[in-house]
Amino acid sequence: MKVLFLAPNIRVPGTHGGSTHVLEVFSHLRKKCEDVMLIARRGSAGKGVVPVGIGSPPVVKWVLPAFYLPLVIRAAKRFGPDVIYERFSAYGLGAMLKTVLRKPLVTMVLDQDMHPLSLQLADKIVTTRPELIPSRYQYKTERVFWGFNPARFHPEVKGDHILKAYKLEGHYIVGYAGGFYPWHGLEVLPDVAEILKRHDVKFLLVGDGKVRKKLEEEVRHRGLEDSFVFTGRVPYERVPEYIAACDICFAVYDPSGHPEMKKTGRLLFDPLKVFEYLGMGKAVITTDSPNIRELYSDGVHLRMVPPGNAESIARVIEEILSDRDKAAAMAFRGREVTCEKFTWDRHVDHLLNVFREVRGGF
């Protein structure tokens, strides 16, 4: 099977969740399919990658597919796909290519920023949040789960050199790896650090984004510099080393920082960070959200806390540090269920079944 994968606003390799999603799905499809072509953002590289897109600028993003179409149509015809797989942020490019190539279309929806033409022309819609899809399209909607790469994120990865490089040896390390955006809940950490002053806890924060500068300024203002390490962005392939250096991993998303999530109080997506943390056998603290509870049980696989609640977060950190054996057993159970249910390999197998279904009925 030959798959044309459309993600024109995503750069691969990259350092955020969208890049992880596209790169992992693309890589696993290439292992299982005859051939795969990825339409990605300019600056992308790799075999089978066609760098075309310029991102998702507001307003203009809705007309970009008309600009992209003549840039990709020749390569797409030459490639000759059996199925078109469109990330929601292609904003209708898949629907346009379907009409030209006369091939089945599968559209992936992550949030409410979806193109009506794609919803209408898609032969199948896949999503982690079926309730996002309008009722008239529910008949062709299928729920999928995202995942992690157990070959990359596993307990055998060593992080001692990270501890040494940042002079963190001998301390309890609470870590985070990802974007620094309002919905990631990082702005509560200075309050958490204040509460935990009596403990030997350090925060290792890996990544970058719009709230990083503000967070660093708050840390300096409170005189908490000794409790925090900001590494900046690191290559995706090195992220496991930083996670390995941590005793506890933090992913307390805050829906109030995101316009769409604020309306429902729940996450819009499967938590890639949580999958990767648990895949490495770490004790994890994350947001108490209905869709997290659909995947894991609080206290059994990980710990859940209310977003933005420094007292609750600090208390759970203290509980984990006070009983390391219990925390290790919880992390082990979390890793077991994650490896069983939430891997990119399993996700791509599900996608391939969907592709075969639409191809057979086209």
Domain count, the chain: 2
In a domain, 153, yes or no: no
Q: In this structure, what CATH number is given to the domain that contains residue 189?
A: 3.40.50.2000
In a domain, 152, yes or no: no
Query: Which of 92-106, 160-174, 242-256 is the least confident region?
Result: 242-256
Residues 314 and 355 in one domain: no
Q: What is the pLDDT of residues 318-335, one digit of tens each?
A: 999 999 999 999 999 999
- Predicted structure pTM score: 0.91
- Six-digit token pair at 137? 């399209």
Coil vs helix vs strand at 201: strand
Residues 209 and 297 in one domain: yes
Residues 172 and 302 in one domain: yes
* Residue 36 backbone phi and psi in degrees, to 5: -140, 135
In a domain, 32, yes or no: yes
Residues 140 and 176 in one domain: no
> What residues contact 128, with CB distance under 8 A and at least 6 apart?
110, 143, 144, 145, 146, 269, 270, 291
In this prediction, residue 268 has a pLDDT band, given cuts at 50, 70 and 90, of: low
Residues 327 and 234 in one domain: yes
Structural domain boundaries, residue 88 = 2-147+343-360
Instruction: Look at residue 50 and tell me whether its pLDDT is greater than 70.
Output: yes
> Quick one: what percent of the chain has pLDDT higher than 70?
96
Residues 108 and 206 in one domain: no
Instruction: Look at residue 258 and tell me whether its pLDDT is greater than 80.
Output: no
Q: What is the pLDDT of residues 284-326, one digit of tens each?
A: 999 998 889 999 999 999 999 998 899 999 999 999 999 999 9
Q: What is the pLDDT averaged over residues 232-244?
A: 94
Residues 87 and 11 in one domain: yes
Residues 13 and 89 in one domain: yes
Residues 166 and 314 in one domain: yes
> What residues contact 197, with CB distance under 8 A and at least 6 apart?
none
Instruction: Look at residue 265 and tell me whether its pLDDT is greater than 90.
Output: no
In a domain, 155, yes or no: no
Query: Which of 33-42, 51-60, 218-227, 236-245 is the least confident region?
Result: 51-60
In a domain, 154, yes or no: no
User: How far is the first Cα of the chain from the last one, in angstroms, to the nearest whole number?
Assistant: 14
Separation between Cα atoms, residue 323 and residue 243, nearest integer Å? 20
Residues 108 and 208 in one domain: no
Residues 173 and 220 in one domain: yes
In a domain, 167, yes or no: yes
In a domain, 52, yes or no: yes
Residues 352 and 332 in one domain: no
Separation between Cα atoms, residue 218 and residue 240, nearest integer Å? 28
User: What pLDDT is recorded for position 273?
Assistant: 93
